[in-house]
Structure 1
Amino acid sequence: MRRFLRHPVRLVPLVFLVAILISTGLLMLRPMTVDNQQTPFMTALFTATSAISVTGLTVTDTPNYWSGLGLVLITVLTQLGGLGILTGAALVILTVSRRLGLHNRMLVQAETAEYGLGDVRRLLLHIATTVFACELAMTVIVAGRLWLAYDEPFWQALWEAAFHSIQAFNNSGFSLYREGLLAFARDAWIGLPLAVGGIIGGLGFPALFEAVREWRRPTRWAVATKLTIWGSAFLVTFGAVAFLVAEWANPRTVGAYGVPDKVVATFTQIALARTGGFEVVPTDLLREESYILLMWLMFIGGGSASTAGGIKVSTFFLLAFVIWAEVRGEPDVTVGKRRIATASQRHALAVALLSVAIVAIGTTALIVMTDKLPFQAALFEVTSAFSTTGLSVGVLSSLSDGGQFLLTVLMYVGRVGPLTFGSAIALNTRRRLYRYPEEQPIVG
């Protein structure tokens, strides 16, 4: 226990695993399904992991399989997984007792990637305020649109809006519509609020709070904030333009839309595809170059300490700066007039290479487990699961239990793996009192 207290980040995978197992048991209860039948263990495990890891992949017809009680549970699990289980528990403790002990502050610090303990209470309040304010704003706009423009009953419109707003902000992809958001692809009043909410949720609280606090002086932002904010803006802009060019004349996706509708559908899909799994454009009808683009965006993911998955934006662009410095022959890697520590470069490289290895091994294993699954489809599903995105090409329900279990493990690893690995390395760094002689092996 003392070892756990020294490095509380080691508790994160265990807490997530326990939460998944408890949620699996709850989803197996008969009242959770429409037909009042017990859900098979593998289906419940897959759904619980998908919800807590804020992925949104599903092997069932969500609106027609789960009852209202089941959908409420999925919503709660998504919110809890997006906030972070330890962070959510700390919020409850803070609300009830008005105080937060040192142990709980250390746990929150480990889960939110904050290394200072003094402002954890204020950090928790800021997180709660930001999350619920964004989700409330999204819910009001979307509910009003569904009620006024689509003639849905008020309470039904409010429920559907709240459900999808929570899913979007937490970068998950569960939907109450069988075809996702395809019916609203050209509706800016529904697509854009969800897209903006997904972007905000995917930035990460540390970067978001600093950007808001120092919005008049972006030059004073920390390097991590600069990489996250400007990197996310570049990825969304570049991704939307590239996706629009690739699908412009595709009659099966956005080719038949007018120019404004093409822009709305493309921006919404790219903004949500980076980390959230809503389907705005038919995924199984995309052109090959669009698949490659989506897989790259999913693999990169969102910001550190956010609801998003992937290797993280800051990791990707930090490695880009490392390559640029190496190409130019510079001794130091600099970003915004700041020299990047060698330890940070090593951490970024380790996370990226481990992630590539996990996706490669997972793709190979899925192909071996499944008969006649194309390589591109297997790679897409594995990347989506590991990056906790939730997009699919429609093969999940046909996978064997082994294939579904493999994706379940990937969702779990994708949610807690990079966070735990990165934080554990940072907290475990040791200083040696000696150094070996240096040698330069041949590289390349």
Structure 2
Amino acid sequence: MDRLGRTDRRSWLGRLRDAVDALVKSSPSRFAILVFAALILLFTLLFSLPIARAGSGSGAPLHDAFFTAVSVICVTGLATVDMATYWSPFGNALVFIGVNIGGVGVLTLASILGFVISRRLGLRAKLIAASDTNPSRIHVGPVAERQAVRLGEVGGLLATVAITALVIELAIAVAMIPSMLRAGYDWFHSIWYSFYYSAMAFTNTGFSPNPGGMAPFEHDYWMQTLLMIGVFVGSLGFPVIFALARSWRTPRRWSLHVKLTITTTVILFVLGAGMFLLLEYNNPRTYGQLDAGPTVFQSLFMSAMTRSGGFATIDMHDLNGSSLLVSDMLMFIGGGSASTAGGIKVTTLAVLFLAAFAEARGAPAMEAFGRRIPRDMLRLSVSVVLWGATIVAVSSIAILQITKEPFDYVLFDVISAFATCGLSTGLTAELPPAGVYVMGATMFLGRVGTVTFAAALAASQRRQLYRRPEERPIVG
């Protein structure tokens, strides 16, 4: 009987392994989406438990538990409740664990789970993780091996993801402890808040564990600098971090992806800060009462946080309409590919600008840093932008119809949800349940990624053995 029981158990595990293997082979993207959806359902159940809610014998309402689970797993940072007071220590532990799981990334997370199930990192799992380093791998066309982590290095990439997250979060947390003590917290809360803020910065989430949020650190530039560092590093993307860890002394050996990501990120950071400085320096509700130095610093902080960080030292609804629009643009762009940030990604924007520049010069191909970029990358970039714009447009229309709130506030919060940024004008916290579910779906689609979602909906790539006659429509 025991022997028979052990045989049945092995058969059950074997059947599970075979089922997962078949699903991964049929569509890695769908498998990744299912993994993320399963995590959201699990955390929704956990947040619904009475033990997760502070000071109450009942659990959180379903829409609040669902929204919090999506926001945590998708590392967004939006909330319909006061995160510092609503959840119990168990609930806060769920938030801390969830953002670190979500920060790993959709496809990389699927690879790790596949590795756990099969006890080995097979070719298919390696392909999933490799596609997380470069979304172009799910499309037909030549992809230079230097533009992504090579297949044999995927094991190193997964180890780098875990080690990098641990080391960076630990270093930032230790550096934050003096700020917490200076703010008046005891040693226990100082350590807990430091690790919490560190995780929220590196994963680009933006939750605050303490009542009052960033208010106690409004003039603590050391604390704000550490938050900016965590957000910046997390938004670069694990493939970039992996490449920098291997060859940080030799920039000439960096891949085109690494160079485009770093260059575009720095340019957007500086331009964003300049725009906020220009548009808000005389706004009495934001920077109008500050001296020149603090105004420049807060502009830099705002530029970093609108890329996907989610922390704020001012109320978003106090910004001028022009600044809200700049914030919308920065949030929509987001951070680097396979990073903890959201948005359409900086490399997508870089490819679009390179295409426009090549078209203006009459050049036959897009080029950057001595490399030619294939034209199918332009098709992919346009698809990402169109899918993202469509999701934002549909969600904005739905929220406008549900709430009847001003368009600029609705657009700001919807883009923040899509780009998993976490900044809010205050609209999200006031949403009715119907609006909460719409915003939750927007966060999910934004985090999963427009490319991954589109690939999951597509049946399978098919080769076309013929070409139709060519004809040029009038454009422009």
Asked if these proteins are the same fold (TM beyond 0.5), I'd say yes
Name the structure 2 match of 1:58: 79
Offset at 1:428?
Answer: 5.9
Offset at 1:347?
Answer: 0.3
Offset at 1:275?
Answer: 0.7
State the secondary structure of the residue aligned to 2:290.
Answer: coil
Give me the whole-angstrom Cα distance separating, in 2, the residues matched to 1:112 and 1:9.
Answer: 14
1:39 is aligned, of 60, 83, 86, to 60
Q: What is the 5 A alignment of 1:182-221?
A: 182-221=215-254
Name the structure 1 match of 2:447: 415
The answer as to 2:363 corresponding to 1:330 is yes
Give me the whole-angstrom Cα distance separating, in 1, the residues matched to 2:131 and 2:31.
Answer: 9
Name the structure 2 match of 1:21: 41
Name the structure 1 match of 2:174: 140
Gaps of 5+ in 1: none
Give me the whole-angstrom Cα distance separating, in 2, the residues matched to 1:105 and 1:363.
Answer: 37
Give me the whole-angstrom Cα distance separating, in 2, the residues matched to 1:196 and 1:183.
Answer: 19
Offset at 1:108?
Answer: 3.2
Offset at 1:336?
Answer: 1.8
Give me the whole-angstrom Cα distance separating, in 1, the residues matched to 2:293 and 2:66.
Answer: 41
Counterpart residue identity of residue 135, structure 1:
E
Name the structure 2 match of 1:49: 70
Name the structure 2 match of 1:379: 411
Name the structure 2 match of 1:312: 345
Deviations 1:148-196 (A, max 9, x none): x223211110100110110110000211234432432331210011111
- TM-score computed with the length of structure 1 as normaliser: 0.93
Aligned partners of 1:179 and 1:279 also within 8 Å: no
Counterpart residue identity of residue 141, structure 1:
A
State the secondary structure of the residue aligned to 1:355.
Answer: helix
Counterpart residue identity of residue 74, structure 2:
S
Deviating more after overlay: 345-354 vs 321-330: 321-330
Give me the whole-angstrom Cα distance separating, in 1, the residues matched to 2:266 and 2:198.
Answer: 21
Name the structure 2 match of 1:10: 30
TM-aligned CA distance change 1:389 to 1:48, over 3 Å: same
Aligned partners of 1:12 and 1:111 also within 8 Å: no
Give me the whole-angstrom Cα distance separating, in 1, the residues matched to 2:249 and 2:99.
Answer: 34
Offset at 1:257?
Answer: 2.0
Gaps of 5+ in 2: 1-18, 135-147
Offset at 1:293?
Answer: 1.0
Counterpart residue identity of residue 357, structure 1:
T
Give me the whole-angstrom Cα distance separating, in 2, the residues matched to 1:226 and 1:166.
Answer: 26
The answer as to 2:198 corresponding to 1:162 is no
Q: What is the 5 A alignment of 1:40-439?
A: 40-84=61-105, 87-88=108-109, 99-113=120-134, 116-147=150-181, 149-371=182-404, 373-421=405-453, 430-439=462-471
Offset at 1:433?
Answer: 2.9
The answer as to 2:451 corresponding to 1:442 is no
Counterpart residue identity of residue 423, structure 2:
L
Counterpart residue identity of residue 295, structure 1:
D
Give me the whole-angstrom Cα distance separating, in 1, the residues matched to 2:371 and 2:331.
Answer: 28
Counterpart residue identity of residue 54, structure 1:
V
Give me the whole-angstrom Cα distance separating, in 2, the residues matched to 1:409 and 1:321.
Answer: 32
Aligned partners of 2:240 and 2:258 also within 8 Å: yes
Counterpart residue identity of residue 426, structure 2:
G
TM-aligned CA distance change 1:150 to 1:111, over 3 Å: same
Offset at 1:100?
Answer: 3.4
Aligned partners of 1:169 and 1:197 also within 8 Å: yes
TM-aligned CA distance change 1:338 to 1:428, over 3 Å: farther
Aligned partners of 1:55 and 1:388 also within 8 Å: yes
State the secondary structure of the residue aligned to 2:37.
Answer: helix
Aligned partners of 1:55 and 1:172 also within 8 Å: yes
Counterpart residue identity of residue 404, structure 1:
V
Give me the whole-angstrom Cα distance separating, in 2, the residues matched to 1:268 and 1:98.
Answer: 43
User: Which has the higher Rg, Structure 1 or Structure 2?
Assistant: 2
RMSD: 2.4
Aligned partners of 1:347 and 1:425 also within 8 Å: no
TM-aligned CA distance change 1:73 to 1:85, over 3 Å: farther
Give me the whole-angstrom Cα distance separating, in 1, the residues matched to 2:462 and 2:232.
Answer: 36
Deviating more after overlay: 223-232 vs 384-393: 223-232
Offset at 1:217?
Answer: 3.5
Offset at 1:356?
Answer: 1.1
Counterpart residue identity of residue 162, structure 1:
F
Give me the whole-angstrom Cα distance separating, in 2, the residues matched to 1:184 and 1:216.
Answer: 35
State the secondary structure of the residue aligned to 1:274.
Answer: helix
Give me the whole-angstrom Cα distance separating, in 1, the residues matched to 2:107 and 2:468.
Answer: 41
Deviating more after overlay: 327-336 vs 73-82: 327-336
State the secondary structure of the residue aligned to 1:171.
Answer: coil
- TM-score computed with the length of structure 2 as normaliser: 0.87
State the secondary structure of the residue aligned to 1:334.
Answer: strand
Offset at 1:220?
Answer: 3.5
